[in-house]
Chains A and B, each alone.
Chain A
């Protein structure tokens, strides 16, 4: 299978199953409308006739180049990876999202956690529960050495003592169990102070800082409890944090909605504040809500992704790349192995979320949906049935992925999106697919 697209003056051909990427000229691009295996020793006359604005010699030369790529296994290769599809069964748990706070000090309009409480009571996780969750993770991690723990909420800084004690505890036992904890935190920044910044920069290998972009965009949808915007409070704090991060990772992470379909402006704005690692993503929301992204927004969104790609490509050409955009980052040579690419996240299988009272869910977006409760860290129960259900999700078991050109880049999408929008974890959300495919094209173009 191949996929071809045009972007910003480039003609690009992807050989889906080998991962091959080819930049071609217009003739090769058009010839691929017709030429497919089995290839003959010269271009068939009926094909030559279809490209009458090129000379027959040129067409034949091009045809033979395509044939050569095919012979070398770089075009029209087969998908023979299904045999690896069930390799994730019985995988240990290696990542955990710790919901240390089901409370929040902002009132963001689009919060999937329903302003922090996930539809339940506002509640903070105790230190004991945090520590117990680390024991649970170690006990269920088998021979995995790197264990990832993300402090999440609601707003995790509201449960700061739990964050600190949990990290300290995990660090005190990691060596004896031959584990290496990697902590991350996702915060809205309101409660950041020097002490917290210092701790985060020392202990957290990554941190995600929520900011939506331009002041008016951010403040419209990310107000404080008193209704005032959050921009002026958080920007200086984030700047201070990032200055102290040295070589550690961070992302300034924004959400775009129907209100700011010109989100490339927000990306540029965040960059102008001194941030270089950026992630700005479409909102996940019920289509009936006024800010939700709907089908009719797609052309506009695609234009905006194109615009952003073009800006980044120009910066790259000029040798002055000013920022990274998370969803345009694909390393064509050192990406994950194909076995990894058969499934997306490890949600419900290698990754779980834990609520303030110790309940276990497949991931942070499933929290609070009773049918997906998998167990509790206190009773050590873990629903085998739910775990296996997720372990069996891959590009060969999800609807539409098997024939999708983007399958080895996207890997089947977000299970939570599928459930929330389509009511079925095996049905990818088509709107998300369209945006995902566009971003992958942009990412590949940036690698040309």
Chain B
């Protein structure tokens, strides 16, 4: 490819199969307490 550089191959669709275990952090409490950005949380299962 000369016009496109794919930065991540991560595929959300694949995470659906094994996901939803519910072990991860649930609130905004770790850093901010006034908002929530889920994408910056960690997955506990891959740790």
Contact = CB atoms under 8 A, between A and B. Distances in A.
Main secondary structure of the interface of B (DSSP, over half): loop
Nearest to A343: B38
A220 interface: no
Nearest to A205: B30
Contacts of B24: 336, 340
Interface stretch (A12-20, A101-109, A295-303): A12-20
Interface string B25-42: 111111111111111111
Contacts, number: 217
Given A61-B2, A338-B15, A340-B20, A414 B38 contact: no
Of B2, B31, B42, B43, chain A has the most CB atoms within 10 Å of the CB of: B31
Given A150-B29, A206-B30, A65 B2 contact: yes
B42 A24 contact: no
Contacts of B36: 344-345, 410-411, 413-414
Nearest to A344: B36
A66 interface: yes
A206 B29 CA distance: 10
Of B18, B19, B36, chain A has the most CB atoms within 10 Å of the CB of: B36
Sorting the interface of chain A by its residue count into under 10, 10 to 19, 20 to 34 or 35 or more gives 35 or more
Nearest to A432: B35
A412 to B, nearest CB: 8
A65 B21 CA distance: 37
Given A330-B39, A417-B35, A440-B37, A69 B6 contact: yes
A420 to B, nearest CB: 10
Contacts of A255: 34
B46 to A, nearest CB: 6
A233 interface: no
B3 A65 contact: yes
Nearest to A83: B16
Contact of B12 (A17, A65, A413, A417): A17
Contacts of B31: 206, 208, 251, 253, 279, 326
B19 A339 contact: yes
A309 interface: no
Contacts of A27: 3
Interface stretch (A45-53, A91-99, A116-124, A311-319): A91-99
Contacts of B46: 334
Nearest to B30: A206
Contact of A333 (B8, B19, B44): B8
A188 interface: no
A305 interface: no
B29 A95 contact: yes
A360 interface: no
B34 A417 contact: yes
Contact of B3 (A62, A150, A281, A344): A62
27 contacts: A20-B9, A25-B2, A25-B3, A27-B3, A61-B2, A65-B3, A68-B1, A91-B22, A94-B26, A95-B27, A148-B29, A150-B29, A253-B33, A284-B34, A330-B40, A336-B41, A337-B19, A338-B15, A339-B16, A339-B20, A343-B38, A363-B27, A411-B37, A414-B28, A439-B37, A440-B39, A447-B8
3 smallest A-B Cβ distances: which pairs? A337-B19, A346-B26, A339-B20
